[in-house]
């Protein structure tokens, strides 16, 4: 009332809302909210009532079901009682029948009384037996329904032992046949239950063994053994699949881990088979067959999940796999399971592939002429044999040799002892092939008299070229050191493992050591390396000799016309005769080359002699095979004179005496020289020149050749050694012609007395000593 009075007091003010209007507005809004809330509450009430009704209906249905279950139980009880009553009725009927039979027996004739009594006794026995069998079968049914498998098994075993009819295979009565069929049916049901409980992967080992023993007692040994192997195979697959993520994390060691898993499962399966099934060979063979299947799976898994075959990691992983697997095979043989041969049959193709790809990669690496990486780091014992040929530390030839050896050593270091024992021969053979590729690369660096533009462009891309004598000899020395010293050191682990067969951890086991079958003898391996070196040496000698024989214009210095020119008629055979100018130049060239070889190939006297001997052989071989040379003598338009035959014979003896005096004589040179002389004698004889009156004795030519060598050496005293190029050699050659024609006592020679000693390694007085002649095979 007070507020209304106040509203009336202030109602006349403009712009002020009366309190009554405000109350009416708020009252209308509040009423709307209350009405809305009431509607929602009513809806919620209906929902709750519906829910309660549904719950009540379900509860009532549940009560009805419970009552029906109780009624069914009562019905079952009534049914059992009815069955019992029917059984009693049947028994009463039987009793009535028996009573009637008794009455018939008493009323019948006396002679039929014994037969009726026997029938009655048999029927009584049949009745008792039938009841016992029926009760037994019901008992088995109850045990099977309650999954009391061991009790059911024992009951079946006892019944089978006590009932001969169940074990007999002959003709039986219909009643017995019916019982035996029911018995076997329950036995099969028990077998199925044993198989069923052994299937879940989560089944424990104890429960599994009980099921297997149950099957074994039921006569299902093969089935039980198959279940055992399947169980271990399933577990093995799960373990292997779980290890897949570690393959990429540990690519080198995962094969060893995987091998340990595989062989441990095989070992456990073999032990379990032995403890459950005994030493029966049938089961042992099945374990071996299963183990072989798992080994095949193991090898396939390693191939599929291994690193790329051309990487060093793949080679290491494969070697570790071989080492671990063969070691495990040795342990498995103690259990009577031999898997070594099968393992190697499966692993060999994979290992061969990895080796092949690694050696292909190695070939690409050291043949990559664009690779300017720094030289790999090797121990001093590998670097010292090559350092003597390097004028500077960054020599491309030396770096290439070091790269080649480092590649070989890297590959060998990846192999484990047992992998070496099995694949060492394979690796050595591939090493020879790789060395042959290395020799081909060195051969391309040597000059060739028949080089075309394409080959020249190829040589320009090589990291090193051997143009001078010192460079070519250094190249030969590097190749020789690689083959004779560095390669044997790089592969020494292979020979050490092959010799250490007494070590039990490496190769003493007979079955392991006999698998390899690919051993390579050290001598054979060295012989193959030497064959590649011979190719390089022959190429050097061939190009060296051809460069000496032919000038840049293509003219031959060893022209047969020097033996038919008239200038030769003035030679004085009574004095000290000299060989023809080309052979004097050859002597000077060999002397010069020996000087350079003494400096470059220091400490390799054998190699020096071999090179000089081969050069001499090449000269004589060329002369023997050059048809253009012999065509001059056979041309009837060219006049022949005796001095030509004499000079050619002296040149051949001179060549032989050079080799003998220098200590690198060979039977091959002697045979070739004798063949040339014999062919010359035959050719000149055919042209009308009598060799008997023209040629002195062989001893005279030998002494003359020795005297010519002595004279040439004495004439060279005091002159300074030099290394002229081809143009300078031609100038000296023409200069020698002029000097020799004027005076035999003045001989121009491009060597010193010191260089002679490095070439001949003998004193002048040794010329007359036959004990200095070396007549070995070249």
Instruction: Report pLDDT digits (tens) over 312-343.
Output: 889 999 999 999 999 988 888 888 888 888 88
* Per-position DSSP letters for 405-452, written without gaps between them: HHHHHHHHHT--HHHHHHHHHHHHHHHHHHHHHHHHHHHHHS--TT--
Q: Which residues contact 29 (CB under 8 A, 6 or more apart)?
A: none
String of DSSP letters for 543-581: HHHHHHHB-TTS-BSS-GGGGTSGGGGG--TTS-----H
- Higher model confidence: residue 554 or residue 622? 622
Residue 349 has pLDDT above 70, yes or no: yes
Nearest of 437, 434, 462, 435 to residue 447 by alpha carbon = 462
Mean pLDDT of 338-366: 89
Please say if the pLDDT value at position 577 is more than 90: no
* 279 — pLDDT class (breaks 50, 70, 90): confident
| pLDDT recorded at residue 445 | 87
Who's near 763: CB < 8 A, 6+ residues apart?
none
* Contact (CB, 8 A) for 508 and 501: yes
CA distances from 307 to 242, 301, 318, 427 (A): 18, 12, 10, 20
Residue indicated by tokens 């009815």: 82
How far is residue 664's CA from residue 374's CA, in Å, rounded to a whole number? 40
CB 650 within 8 A of CB 704: yes
Task: Give the integer Cα–Cα distance in Å for 47 and 321.
Answer: 72
**C-alpha to C-alpha distance for 315 and 308, rounded to whole angstroms:** 9
Over residues 639-652, the mean pLDDT reads 88
Among 22-36, 339-353, 490-504, the range with the most confident prediction by mean pLDDT is 339-353
Q: No. of H helices and E strands in the chain?
A: 31, 0
Q: How many CB atoms lie within 10 A of CB 169?
A: 5
Q: Does residue 350 carry a pLDDT above 80?
A: yes
Residue 391: the pLDDT is 58
Say if CB 441 and CB 347 are below 8 A apart.
no
pLDDT value at 608 more than 70: yes
- Residues 721-762 have pLDDT tens digits of 344 444 444 444 333 333 333 333 322 323 333 333 333 333
Residue written as token pair 């190009």: 543
Cα torsion at 121, 122, 127, 128 (round to 10°)?
A: 70
Q: Does the structure show a pLDDT above 60 at 669?
A: yes
Cβ(408)–Cβ(377) below 8 Å? no
The per-residue pLDDT for 775 is 37
| C-alpha to C-alpha distance for 474 and 431, rounded to whole angstroms | 23
Section 674-679 average pLDDT: 92
pLDDT tens figures, 422-469: 888 889 999 999 999 999 989 988 887 554 444 444 445 666 788 888
> Tokens 């020249």 map to which residue?
456
Evaluate if pTM is beyond 0.75.
no
Q: pLDDT tens, 467-510?
A: 888 888 989 988 998 998 889 988 888 888 877 654 555 444 45
367 vs 343, more confident:
343
């Amino acid at each position: 009332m007070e507020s209304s009075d106040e509203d009336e007091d202030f109602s006349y003010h403009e712009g002020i809302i009366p309190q009554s209007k405000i109350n009416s507005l708020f009252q209308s809004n509040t009423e709307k909210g209350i009405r809305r809330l009431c509607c929602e509450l009513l809806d919620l009430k209906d929902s709750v009532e519906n829910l309660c009704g549904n719950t009540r209906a379900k509860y009532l249905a549940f009560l009805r079901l419970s009552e029906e279950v109780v009624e069914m139980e009562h019905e079952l009880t009534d049914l059992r009682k009815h069955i019992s009553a029917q059984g009693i009725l049947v028994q009463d009927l039987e009793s009535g029948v028996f009573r009637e039979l008794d009455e018939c027996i008493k009323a019948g004739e006396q002679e039929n009384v014994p037969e009726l009594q026997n029938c009655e006794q048999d029927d009584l026995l049949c009745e008792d037996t039938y009841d016992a069998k029926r009760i037994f079968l019901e008992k088995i049914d109850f045990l099977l329904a309650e999954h009391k498998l061991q009790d059911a098994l024992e009951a079946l075993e006892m019944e089978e032992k006590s009932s001969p009819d169940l074990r007999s295979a002959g003709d039986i009565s219909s009643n017995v046949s019916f019982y035996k069929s029911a018995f076997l049916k329950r036995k099969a049901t028990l077998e199925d239950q044993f198989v069923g409980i052994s299937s879940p992967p989560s089944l424990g080992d104890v429960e599994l063994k009980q099921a297997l023993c149950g099957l074994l007692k039921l006569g299902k040994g093969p089935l039980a053994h198959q279940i055992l192997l399947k169980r271990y195979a399933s577990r093995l697959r799960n373990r292997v699949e779980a290890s897949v993520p570690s393959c990429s994390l540990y690519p080198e060691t995962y094969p060893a881990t995987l091998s340990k898993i595989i062989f441990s499962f095989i070992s456990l399966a073999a032990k379990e088979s032995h403890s459950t099934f005994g030493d029966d060979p049938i089961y042992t063979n099945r374990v071996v067959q299963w183990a072989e299947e798992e080994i095949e799976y193991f090898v396939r898994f390693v191939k599929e999940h291994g690193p790329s075959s051309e990487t060093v990691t793949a080679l290491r992983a494969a070697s570790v796999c071989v080492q671990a697997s063969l070691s495990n095979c040795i342990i498995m043989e103690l259990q009577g399971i031999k898997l070594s041969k099968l393992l190697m049959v499966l692993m060999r193709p994979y290992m061969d592939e990895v080796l092949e790809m690694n050696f292909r990669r190695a070939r690409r690496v050291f043949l990559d002429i664009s690779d300017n990486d720094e030289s790999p780091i090797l121990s001093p014992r590998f670097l010292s044999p090559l350092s003597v040929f390097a004028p500077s530390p960054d020599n491309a030839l030396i770096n290439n040799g070091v790269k080649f050896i480092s590649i070989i050593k890297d590959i060998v270091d990846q192999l484990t002892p047992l992998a070496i024992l099995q694949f060492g021969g394979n690796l050595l053979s591939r090493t020879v092939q790789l060395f042959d590729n290395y020799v081909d690369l060195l051969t391309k660096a040597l000059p060739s008299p028949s080089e075309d533009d394409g080959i020249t462009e190829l040589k320009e891309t090589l990291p090193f070229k051997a143009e001078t004598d010192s460079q070519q000899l250094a190249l030969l020395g590097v190749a020789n050191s690689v083959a004779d010293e560095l390669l044997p050191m790089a592969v020494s682990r292979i020979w050490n493992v092959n010799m250490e067969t007494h070590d039990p951890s490496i190769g003493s086991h007979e079955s392991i050591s006999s698998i390899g079958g690919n051993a390579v003898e050290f001598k054979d391996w060295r012989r193959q390396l030497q064959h590649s070196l011979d190719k390089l040496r022959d190429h050097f000698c061939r190009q060296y000799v051809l460069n000496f024989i032919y000038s840049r214009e293509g003219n031959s210095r060893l022209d047969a016309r020097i033996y038919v020119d008239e200038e030769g008629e003035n030679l004085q055979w009574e004095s000290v005769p000299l060989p023809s100018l080309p052979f004097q130049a050859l002597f000077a060239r060999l002397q010069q080359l020996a000087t350079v070889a003494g400096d470059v190939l220091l400490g390799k006297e054998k190699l020096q002699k071999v090179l000089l001997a081969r050069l001499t052989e090449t000269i004589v071989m060329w002369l023997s095979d050059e048809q253009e040379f012999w065509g001059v003598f056979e041309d009837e338009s060219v006049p022949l004179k005796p001095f030509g035959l004499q000079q050619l014979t002296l040149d051949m003896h001179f060549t032989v005496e050079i080799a003998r005096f220098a200590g690198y004589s060979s039977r091959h040179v002697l045979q070739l020289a004798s063949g040339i002389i014999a062919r010359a004698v035959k050719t000149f004889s055919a042209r009308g020149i009598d060799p008997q009156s023209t040629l002195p004795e062989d001893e005279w030519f030998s002494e003359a050749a020795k005297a010519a060598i002595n004279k040439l050496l004495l004439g060279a005293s005091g002159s300074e050694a030099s290394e002229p190029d081809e143009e300078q050699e031609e100038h000296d050659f023409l200069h020698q012609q002029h000097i020799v024609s004027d005076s035999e006592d003045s001989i121009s020679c491009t060597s010193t007395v010191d260089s002679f000693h490095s070439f001949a390694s003998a004193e002048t007085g040794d010329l007359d000593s036959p004990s200095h002649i070396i007549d070995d095979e070249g």
